[in-house]
């Protein structure tokens, strides 16, 4: 009995030491790390201490689709905070296949008549769909035939009354992947059809959190066009006036085209991410 007790005591002490060395970190909530689950899913890797990288709050435009008949598709829209789909000219378009194209090549299209960022409507098709693959694209400007930011594929044999699986949905996104004193690097993802430079895509940095005023260009620090025509990649912002101040909040956004002839317009935002610059270590 004495030998058994001594063995158990030694085993317990060894286990306790191991737990103290490793247990606390392995059980830390994921949101306390310097990167989000979304970034891990997208394959980004940060080097250096995770705690030195700011947490992010991401905003995207997404929608779901449910077939009720060959000509009626129920849509649930989740927009950006402060957005107005009707006033902005949001619309949906449908093509046969699994790739979106120019709006004018679509089989059907319909303006979205919602005055709030979230809501539902029915996409009514004059020509019903067959038992084939189809794709719905959501555009943010009815005056721009290529401003599609989100898609949902309706797969062949999709049953009625059941929402299409999220695995068939895509939403454009922007993510902060590198931050410096006067610069940053953003990663972006848009639909495969999109040609960022040709379609006048851009990124912009704002001071403060994302609000309805962001669409109006309030607190804009810098805005610049995406130089290439690959639908996903990275872009740098250099020479940030005044620098990125420790402990201050900023919003990084991605936009498509211009809402007017004003090349400085920031109205057509399709994705955003908020972050707080880490404080200085004393």
The CATH classification of domain 30-58+172-276, taken from the options 1.20.140.150, 3.30.2350.10, 3.40.50.1000, 2.60.40.10:
2.60.40.10
What Rg value do the Cα atoms of the chain yield, rounded?
Answer: 23
**Can you give the pLDDT at residue 267?**
86
The CATH architecture one would assign to domain 61-170 is Sandwich (2.60)
Asked if pLDDT for residue 83 goes beyond 60, the answer is yes
How far apart (Å, rounded) are the C-alpha atoms in residues 235 and 149?
Answer: 18
Looking at per-residue pLDDT, the higher value among 264 and 117 belongs to 117
pLDDT (tens digit per residue) in 132-141: 999 999 999 9
pTM of this prediction?
Answer: 0.81
**Out of 13-17, 183-187, 244-248, least confident range:** 13-17
For the chain, domain boundaries? 30-58+172-276, 61-170
How much is the average pLDDT of 235-243? 95
- H runs (alpha helix) in the chain: 2-26, 37-41, 85-88
**Can you give the pLDDT at residue 263?**
53
Q: Report whether 219 contacts 204 (CB < 8 A).
A: no
The residue to which tokens 């669409």 are assigned = 215
**Can you give the pLDDT at residue 164?**
98
Q: Report whether 59 contacts 103 (CB < 8 A).
A: no
**Can you give the pLDDT at residue 190?**
98
């Amino acid at each position: 009995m004495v030998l058994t007790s001594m063995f158990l005591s030694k085993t317990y002490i060894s286990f306790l030491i191991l737990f103290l060395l490793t247990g606390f970190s392995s059980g830390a909530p994921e949101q306390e790390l310097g990167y989000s689950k979304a970034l891990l899913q997208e394959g980004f890797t940060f080097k250096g201490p995770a705690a030195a990288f700011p947490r992010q709050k991401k905003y995207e435009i997404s929608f779901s689709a449910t077939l009720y008949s060959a000509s009626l598709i129920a849509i649930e829209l989740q927009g950006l905070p402060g957005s107005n789909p009707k006033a902005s000219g949001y619309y949906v378009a449908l093509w046969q296949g699994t790739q979106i194209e120019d709006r004018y090549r679509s089989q059907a299209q319909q303006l979205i008549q919602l005055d709030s960022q979230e809501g539902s409507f029915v996409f009514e098709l004059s020509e019903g769909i067959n038992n084939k693959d189809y794709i719905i694209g959501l555009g943010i400007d009815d005056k721009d035939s290529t401003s599609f930011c989100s898609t949902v594929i309706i797969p062949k044999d999709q049953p009625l009354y059941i929402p299409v699986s999220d695995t068939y949905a895509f939403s454009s996104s922007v993510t902060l992947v590198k931050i410096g004193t006067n610069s940053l690097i953003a990663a972006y993802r848009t639909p495969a059809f999109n040609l960022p430079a040709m379609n006048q895509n851009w990124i912009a940095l704002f001071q403060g959190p994302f609000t309805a005023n962001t669409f109006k260009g309030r607190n804009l620090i810098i805005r610049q066009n995406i130089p290439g025509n690959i639908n996903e990649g990275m872009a740098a912002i250099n020479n940030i006036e005044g620098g990125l101040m420790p402990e201050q909040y900023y919003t990084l956004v991605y936009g498509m085209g211009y809402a007017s002839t004003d090349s400085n317009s920031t109205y057509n935002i399709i994705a955003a991410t908020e972050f707080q610059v880490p404080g200085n270590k004393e």
